[in-house]
Amino acid sequence: MLSTGALRAHLLAARLAGPVATLREESLRNYRLFAARDPRILLGLDPEWSWGPGDLLGLMADKCGVSADPRHTSGADVIDPERTLAALDAFAERLADAARRRLPVLLGTGHPHRLLGFYAALADALSSAGCTVLTPAQGNSVDITTRFGLRTYNLDYVQGVALVREPGARPAGSETGAHTHSPLPVRAALGAAADVGGRLPELVIGDHGWVCGAGQLGFEAIGLADTDDPALFVGEAEGQVSVVVPLDDAVRSDYYRPLTRYVLNRACLSQ
């Protein structure tokens, strides 16, 4: 089993925590946009409380370990590895509970180039434990507003993990997809399952809009988030999201493998 000390060292060496590649300027900008209720930053969340930029900075300092000093306006953001480790333990507890109860689960990512392998390993382990890994609305189209205008994407599943891709960009089942923050894919998946009377997930696992969109609809959701994505941490603070793990969500995909091993070991799901 990967020890906590070894994982802490890996988090820092891979820059998953400690000084990360996410810029302080980007994070502060997103806090301002979230406070202004910009839907691009809300990620499908409809906050119940009033969140100003200062409130968000305080929340992110508490949840992630970023500097709480508003005068610190540039350079690399910092994530406290102890907070990452604590959240990974809580994340593993939710996985273990889902496995014990054999809950139906839905996994989806807006970072398929980076995080597909992480989620695919979870999907495989949960399936082996008796959970049904749901794949509703496969092949359905989803219209998402991007900085280039309205684009149509197809919902696909790779190794049990949902992602979106541009039509014709890759064959179904290929391991690449589009980067998206949108909650529309998870809404489409959940809506399609409900329309046909199919099973609905009792746990949604993912990032970006997959977590916030599901949590806002009342589904238990857990996931990963960077310091420039305050919506997930607001969702956790308000109770719409169960667990958020603070880390850099855009490093090399193989850097997440030790996290996979650690989480599956903690959840007693190693194979």
The pairing of beta strand 161-165 with beta strand 105-108: parallel
DSSP structural state of residue 67: -
pTM of the predicted model over 0.85: yes
Per-residue pLDDT tens digits for 54-69: 999 999 999 999 999 9
How many Å apart are CA 89 and CA 243, to the nearest integer? Answer: 10
- Is 60 exceeded by the pLDDT of residue 173? no
**pLDDT band, very low/low/confident/very high, at 220 (cuts 50, 70, 90):** very high
- Tens digits of per-residue pLDDT, 79-123? 999 999 999 999 999 999 999 999 999 999 999 999 999 999 999
The mean per-residue pLDDT over the stretch 176-196 comes to: 94
* Spatial contact of 83 and 64, defined as CB atoms under 8 Å apart: yes
Residues in the chain: 271
Q: Percent of the chain, pLDDT > 70?
A: 97
Across the range 22-47, mean pLDDT stands at 97
Paired sense of beta strands 149-158 and 161-165, if any: antiparallel
Over residues 130-156, the pLDDT tens digits come to: 999 999 999 999 999 887 788 899 999
Give the pLDDT score at 175.
60
47-76 burial string, b = 16+ CB within 10 Å, else e?
beeebebebbbebbbebbbbbeeeeeeeee
